[in-house]
Structures are given as structure tokens and as C-alpha cells.
């Protein structure tokens, strides 16, 4: 992890606009939606945060934590969302470090368990996540895998 810096958005609030644009570019969710969630986190209205990996001044990875990641199991919250690592920076443990950072920070604030939805199998298990159930994604034809980290 040399040359990488893992941070919360609260540590670098000046990155809010750049982070919202970066996540929008990766997932297609409107920047305004990211800015709303990030703004609430930065204002202290929620402890559900945003985590970034920087390589120099570039955002090379990130994830967020929100109440619900666009699925029908509204009772399973909060949810890790928008996990993404730039292709050139993959296979270096960045995602695992970000996931662990988020889970540990939330646990320290009394927030546990944490959930996430994904089509991946085998990846999240490496970091302590367990398959929990299937969930129906908003507007999706097929159910998706929902994981829990206790």
C-alpha cells in the first residue's frame, strides 16, 4: 500500500465535488445524489460516510456507506455502496483496506452489522463478508446477492 493514502471524506472535505464526480463517472448515479449523501456526512447529520484511496492527488478507489443501495430489503441497513478501484490500481488490496476501514469505523460508532449487494462471488468473503440472502434490486429483473459483515 505504499504510495496510497486511505482517507475519509471528513479528513479531506475539499474533495467532495471531485469525489462526487468520480463516483458518478464510475456508476452513472447523478452527482447530485452523491453530493446530498456526502453533504449530510460532512455536516455531521449522519455517520454513514465516504472512503477514498488517493494516489498522489488522484482518486484511485472509493466506497460509500448509505442506508439502502437500491434494493427491496430496506430493513437491512446500512449498506456499503459504489465500491470501485481504478483498473490500473487493482489487485493491491485497496478494496479490502477500504472495506475494513469502513466496517471498523462504523463498528466504533456502534453501527453493526453492515450490508452490501453485489454480483461478485468469492471476493467479499476474503474480507469477512458472508452471503446473507438474495435481494431484488430496484428495476432489476434478477435478484442479487446481499452480504453481511457482523
Report how far residue 147's alpha carbon sits from residue 32's, in angstroms, rounded to the nearest whole number: 27
Query: What pLDDT, on the 0 to 100 scale, is given for residue 36?
Result: 97
Query: What pLDDT, on the 0 to 100 scale, is given for residue 148?
Result: 98
Is the separation of the CB atoms in 98 and 109 below 8 Å?
A: no
Nearest to 99 by CA among 48, 62, 73, 145: 62
Residues in the chain with pLDDT values less than 50: none
Residue 19: enclosing H or E segment and its boundaries?
helix 16-27
Cα R_g (the chain), whole angstroms: 15
How many Cβ atoms from other residues are within 10 Å of residue 104's Cβ? 11
Query: What pLDDT, on the 0 to 100 scale, is given for residue 2?
Result: 82
Q: Say what the pTM is.
A: 0.95
Is the link from the previous residue into 21 a cis peptide, with omega within 30 of 0?
A: no
Domain residue spans in the chain? Answer: 5-112
Query: What pLDDT, on the 0 to 100 scale, is given for residue 52?
Result: 98
Report how far residue 68's alpha carbon sits from residue 80's, in angstroms, rounded to the nearest whole number: 8
Query: What pLDDT, on the 0 to 100 scale, is given for residue 34?
Result: 98
Which architecture characterizes domain 5-112 according to CATH?
3-Layer(aba) Sandwich (3.40)
Query: What pLDDT, on the 0 to 100 scale, is given for residue 57?
Result: 94
User: Strand 79-85 and strand 58-66: pairing?
Assistant: antiparallel
Query: What pLDDT, on the 0 to 100 scale, is given for residue 4?
Result: 97
Is the separation of the CB atoms in 117 and 79 below 8 Å?
A: yes
Report how far residue 73's alpha carbon sits from residue 137's, in angstroms, rounded to the nearest whole number: 9
Amino acid at each position: 500500500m505504499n504510495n496510497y493514502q486511505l482517507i475519509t471524506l471528513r479528513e479531506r472535505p475539499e474533495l467532495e465535488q471531485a469525489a462526487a464526480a468520480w463516483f458518478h463517472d464510475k456508476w452513472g448515479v447523478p452527482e447530485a445524489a452523491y453530493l446530498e449523501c456526502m453533504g449530510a456526512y460532512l455536516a455531521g447529520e449522519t455517520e454513514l460516510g465516504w472512503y477514498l484511496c488517493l494516489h498522489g492527488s488522484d482518486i484511485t478507489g472509493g466506497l460509500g456507506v448509505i442506508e439502502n443501495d437500491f434494493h427491496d430489503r430496506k430493513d437491512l441497513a446500512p449498506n456499503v455502496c459504489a465500491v470501485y478501484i481504478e483498473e490500473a490500481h487493482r489487485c493491491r488490496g485497496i478494496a479490502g483496506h477500504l472495506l475494513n476501514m469502513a466496517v471498523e469505523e462504523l463498528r466504533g460508532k456502534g453501527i453493526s452489522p453492515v450490508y452490501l449487494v453485489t454480483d461478485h462471488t468469492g471476493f467479499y468473503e476474503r474480507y469477512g463478508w458472508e452471503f446473507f440472502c438474495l435481494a431484488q434490486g430496484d428495476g432489476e429483473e434478477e435478484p442479487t446477492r446481499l452480504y453481511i459483515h457482523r
